[in-house]
Amino acid sequence: MKSIFLTVGLLAIAAVSFAEETTEKKKELSETGVTVLEKLRELRKEQESLIAKIENETDRELITSVFKKELDTAETEVDATRVKRAAIKRRAANRRANRRRFARRLRRNQRRAAQKRRAHARRHQRNLRRAARKIRRIQRRG
């Protein structure tokens, strides 16, 4: 339970610091922005009060150091993002490969359909011959 409160508090601190940065850039917040900022400030106060309730000094120091480390790592991760460059686009090669793949699939499907037609015709002819033989046999008996 404590860990949940602490993680919520950490998120609140990060969000509040981000909100403070945005308030510096943009002087006026919308109503929803103001309410969100107030809620984040309340969460930050709640986190600080929870940390103050911890009686063991070593635990309190460890928790605060963990928060500081997480905030520092979050800041360094933002700084370390790579700049995206335009990738080499191989549209013609991809288009050609897609066309070949489609043509291959089409040929395979057409061949399969032709085989099915021939098999059906053969089966039909065989059934007709069998029926004709049966009729002749019945007529001979008489």
**Are residues 139 and 73 located together in one domain of the fold?**
no
Whether 95 is covered by a domain: the verdict is no
Q: What is the pLDDT of residue 51?
A: 81
Global confidence as pTM: 0.34
**Are residues 21 and 73 located together in one domain of the fold?**
yes
Mean pLDDT for the stretch of residues 41-48: 85
**Are residues 58 and 111 located together in one domain of the fold?**
no
User: Who wins on pLDDT, 79 or 135?
Assistant: 135
Q: What does the block give as tokens for 132?
A: 């004709």
Among the three residues 79, 110, 133, which one is the final residue of a domain in this structure?
79
Range of the structural domain that residue 8 is part of: 2-79
Q: Is pLDDT of 123 > 90?
A: yes
**Are residues 75 and 135 located together in one domain of the fold?**
no
Q: What does the block give as tokens for 110?
A: 């057409």
**Are residues 28 and 62 located together in one domain of the fold?**
yes
13-48 CB burial, b ≥16 within 10 A, e <16:
bbbbeebeeeeeeeeeeeeeeeeebeebeebbeebe
Helix (H, G, I), strand (E, B) or coil at 10: helix
